[in-house]
């Protein structure tokens, strides 16, 4: 179901109905549920990688790994499940 939003006599069609944010005549749909799950994955990975770090360079590598690890995990899982 599409929802129309008018701003300054211009209409923008949106594909979602929940949490619509209009900026510069563009419709943005927010999905905070998936963002929270990704955030928890990043925090968990951050604790895991920083727990084993013994130098500053390993701390920086651990921070980088903790940001990309949940995305790589989901990619590998979906590839394994052939989706």
Residue 58 has pLDDT above 90, yes or no: yes
48 shares its domain with 18: no
49 shares its domain with 67: yes
Reduced to 3 states (helix: H, G, I; strand: E, B; else coil), residue 2 is: coil
Reduced to 3 states (helix: H, G, I; strand: E, B; else coil), residue 59 is: helix
Whether the Cβ atoms of residue 76 and residue 68 lie closer than 8 Å to each other = no
37 shares its domain with 75: yes
pLDDT 10s digits, 4-48: 555 544 455 566 655 555 556 666 666 666 777 788 888 888 998
46 shares its domain with 76: yes
Sign of the C-alpha dihedral, residues 41, 42, 43, 48? positive
Cα angle for residues 50, 65, 39 (degrees, 5° grid):
85
Q: What is the average pLDDT across 50-77? A: 89
Sign of the C-alpha dihedral, residues 36, 38, 44, 50? negative
| pLDDT at position 15 | 63
With 0.85 as the threshold, say if the pTM is over it. Answer: no
For the chain, what is the domain count?
2
45 shares its domain with 57: yes
37 shares its domain with 76: yes
76 shares its domain with 38: yes
């Amino acid at each position: 179901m599409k929802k129309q939003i008018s701003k300054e006599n211009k209409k923008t069609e949106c594909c979602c109905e929940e949490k619509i944010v209009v900026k510069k005549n563009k419709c943005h749909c927010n999905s905070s549920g998936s963002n929270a799950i990704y955030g928890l994955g990043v925090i968990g990975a951050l604790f895991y990688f920083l727990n084993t770090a013994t130098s500053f360079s390993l701390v920086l590598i651990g921070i980088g790994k903790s940001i990309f690890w949940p995305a790589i995990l989901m990619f590998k899982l979906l590839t394994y499940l052939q989706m």
